[in-house]
Amino acid sequence: MKFNFIILIALLIGFVACENQPQHINIFIAGDSTAQTQNPEKTVMRGWGQVFQSYFDTTVTVQNRAMGGRSTKTFISEERWQKILDDIQPNDYVIIQFGHNDASTRPERHASYPDYKQNLITMVNQAREKQANPILATSIVMRTFKGRSLVDDRLLGYPAITRQVADSLNVPMIDAYVKTRDMIIMMGDSASKSLYMWVEPGIDKNRPDGSQDDTHLQEPGAHAVAKIIAEEIKKQNLKDLADHVLIP
């Protein structure tokens, strides 16, 4: 009888310990080349999703599914979104960030404003059907100065549509466009080049003649954007996630 009582106590202790253990959560990233994981042996380019893991403790795993050249249209048509739906589990998160390629004039990438809006709505609803937590994020700013002014507007109305969808569906939203725009304005033209793919000849294997790229990021830029997004997750106190953010 005493032996059975000891076993019962041990089982209860084990059950309570399991109950108190933090739940493991995955964060999936659906996006384009500004978030994509790049090969460090071939390029100094980095996506913010590539370094995002370093802003969370071990209870969170980042699953970076971002891919260069993809819009909401092609991410869905190539079934990259479906692969996320196949893998995502209840209570996981998925950050959805598009716009750069949706705004492209290339017909195979371009999504009209109505199509872009509907694609985001579809992604949000399908993630929720899997009992996961979608987060919408606007695109990072494209760094183009005229004098002291940041003037680039190649993203057109796509950030605004992202905000509208987030508001109408009551989805957490990270305004990476506004946050990165303000950061770049404060840094100024010259200093902000170090965040983007402004590199001299001979630095990058993929771009041996050098690069003056106002869209894609180097490692300092990737960390700057990843930190902005992690800070917003903390600030918005997102359930089961905010407490596991690590800000250096």
Question: Active site residue: 33, 71, 139, 211, which one?
Answer: 33
Mapped to the 3 state alphabet, what secondary structure does 84-115 carry?
Answer: HHHHCCCCCEEEEECCCCCCCCCCCCCCCHHH
- Catalytic, 33? Answer yes
Helix (H) or strand (E) holding 213: strand 211-217
Question: Active site residue: 100, 216, 223, 244, which one?
Answer: 216
b/e per residue 183-222 (b: at least 16 CB within 10 A): bbbeeebeebbebbbbbeeeebeebeeebebbbbbbbebb
Tokens for 23, please give them.
Answer: 């739940």
**Nearest-angstrom CA–CA distance, 212 and 133:** 37
Tokens for 247, please give them.
Answer: 């800000």
**Nearest-angstrom CA–CA distance, 24 and 60:** 6
- Dihedral sign, CA of 202, 204, 206, 207? negative
Residue with tokens 């995002």: 52
**Nearest-angstrom CA–CA distance, 222 and 225:** 5
Question: Active site residue: 19, 41, 129, 200, which one?
Answer: 200
- Angle 176-187/219-235 helices, nearest 10 degrees? 130
**Nearest-angstrom CA–CA distance, 15 and 13:** 5
Q: Active-site residue numbers?
A: 33, 200, 216
